[in-house]
Amino acid sequence: MTLDRFYPIFDHSDWLRRMLPLGVKLVQLRMKDQPDAVVREQIAISRDLCRDHGAILVINDHWQAAMDLGCDWIHLGQEDLDEADLAAIRRAGLKLGVSTHDDDELERVLSMAPDYVALGPVYPTILKKMKWHEQGLPRVTEWKARVGDVPLVGIGGMSVERAAGVLEAGADIVSVVTDITLNADPEARVRQWIEATR
């Protein structure tokens, strides 16, 4: 199954309700600092919305809730990997995407046979305070050579204007957060993204 090249990340099902009808086919739900009941409710709503629209839903971090609620994909950061039960995740048939930032992390992740590898931040990002500076496009090309057939996601500082260069550098997928959520017209921006990546 080929993943769509446009991969927005949202923190609430309300965003999915707005954006899925526009043609989003791959989306991540990333919730931070929410009580478990809210997390589970949001995952269940988002799961149903994505099923209705024929889209793939990836749950960030909350792998146990994703398993319990019958989701198909999870995304884990490096810290999440330390606590996650990877054997249980694989037994449940969940597909796994993982964040990487440096050589050691990439080696660790490739040994897990991930379903995609994310590299970031490709450009400076306002979303997270990170110890990694921008990776740059040459790094995208290098990572793609190393991951081979595993889909490579470029994330960090992404915009419609930068998407083509990241894809040309070797990324299979471009992931984006604030370029949509902080845009004055998020729907119009999503339409631009879809046009730029398909």
* Averaged pLDDT score across all residues of the chain: 95
pLDDT in tens, 111-157: 999 999 999 999 987 766 666 678 999 999 999 999 999 999 999 99
Q: Is residue 52 packed enough to be buried (19+ CB in 10 Å), middle (13-18) or exposed (0-12)?
A: exposed
The first and second tokens of residue 151, run together, are 């889909």
For residues 101 and 131, give the distance between their C-alpha atoms in angstroms, rounded to a whole number: 10
Would you state the CATH architecture of domain 6-197? Answer: Alpha-Beta Barrel (3.20)
pLDDT in tens, 40-64: 999 999 999 999 999 999 999 999 9
